[in-house]
Chain A
Amino acid sequence: MTDISRILLFMVGCIFTHNVVFDRMLGVHDAGQPRRFETSVIYGVAVCIVMTLSAVCCWAVQTLLLAPMHMEYLQIIAFSLVVVAVTALTQLCVSKVKPEWMETLDNCLMPIAANCAVLGIAIVNAEAGYTFGYALLSGLCGGLGFLLAIVLLAGVYEKLEFAKVPEPFKGMPIAVISAGLIALAFIGFKGIA
């Protein structure tokens, strides 16, 4: 297999087969928040940026600091610190470059730091022992997978807005079941990458 096809398969795997929400079950709480379609797209892109940057930074912290000094036990604290710092930095940049985005997102990106998909992908990368390139791709495609998931969920939620959902199932229960049915459809990607 050539390098390019291996990389393509890795990307397809990260976006679809091992989708952060529907297969790895990370960031479900965040993805499940009801949002309008436009908000979902902007939020998803913001998560994608934070996830890519944290994947890269956490890789650097892991390979250049923690591993050589045998301090892997500090991984959780170190990675959390990196994620918080990256999120704060992203918030600063976005509010300078795209102030209208910040308005849509209630002027705060900090909830992204609490999205367990961001920290989760960083830890997955460290455990898999990826090289720099794969860690970067894993972060980027994990983020794209999250974007795909919340956009699909937003579409389904908009359809559900007018549905006659029975009272006890309104809101969260039907949202979780919808996510489950989408995850059922995603099982079809099994075996691809």
Chain B
Amino acid sequence: MDNRTSNGILAGNPLFRLGLGVCPALAVTTCASAALGMGVATACVLVCSSLVAFVLGKVVSEKGTVATWIMVTACFATVAQFILKGWFPELASELGIFVPLIAVSSLLLSRADFASNNSLGAAMGDAVGMGIGYIIAMTLVGIVREILGQGTLFGSDLLPFTPMTLVALPAGGFIVLGLLMGCWNAITAKKNGKEETQA
């Protein structure tokens, strides 16, 4: 696998390591399926917008970058909303305003910036890696919050104890995300340490 792609999944995971795209990771992760859906939608928009940003990067002046990227991502967010509303209306209503808000996702804007300053291969490798990393991270948060907060997983019951209502609320989302970030740091740090000692 391309080095940049694997970086986006593990050591440079956009959500757990870089803190990009946090808002949807808190808002729509109360159940795993919605989290997965949001992750996939964001990743698709990410790849498309990075490609366009790579092309436009040669034309746009330094000052107008943020504005340009927002307009590019807004167009793709609109397309994403059409697709979700047309084919997955239930998911679309679950995700609510966080589909339109893909337009100003910190993840997309920072990756668009990266794409415009790098080669096509690097830009695409980065976008794909970040996209997959984001899907994995979102799903993980969704799984943990659904099990603890509702006692179910992907909608099916598994009830070891009375669910913790807090986990399904915003406050619980923050706390679960923070704990997962810390664990992710501890795991990837250990892995990096091993690789260093081997080399």
Contact = CB atoms under 8 A, between A and B. Distances in A.
Interface of B is mostly: helix
A32 B71 CA distance: 24
B78 interface: yes
6 contacts: A22-B170, A75-B100, A110-B66, A176-B175, A184-B166, A187-B169
Interface of A: 22-30, 32, 73-77, 79-81, 83-84, 88, 110-111, 113-116, 118-120, 123-124, 127, 166-169, 172-177, 179-181, 183-184, 186-187
Interface of A is mostly: helix
B189 A77 contact: no
B103 A119 contact: yes
A26 B179 contact: no
Given A169-B185, A172-B181, A180-B175, A29 B106 contact: yes
B170 A29 contact: no
B172 A123 contact: no
Q: Interface size class for chain B?
A: 35 or more
Interface string B166-199: 1001111111011101110110010000000000
A191 to B, nearest CB: 14
Nearest to B82: A73
A25 B26 contact: yes
A81 B71 contact: yes
Nearest to B81: A76
A173 B18 CA distance: 10
A35 B78 CA distance: 33
B189 to A, nearest CB: 6
B36 interface: no
A6 B161 CA distance: 42
Nearest to A27: B23
A143 to B, nearest CB: 16
A66 B9 CA distance: 40
Given A25-B26, A114-B106, A173-B178, A88 B67 contact: yes
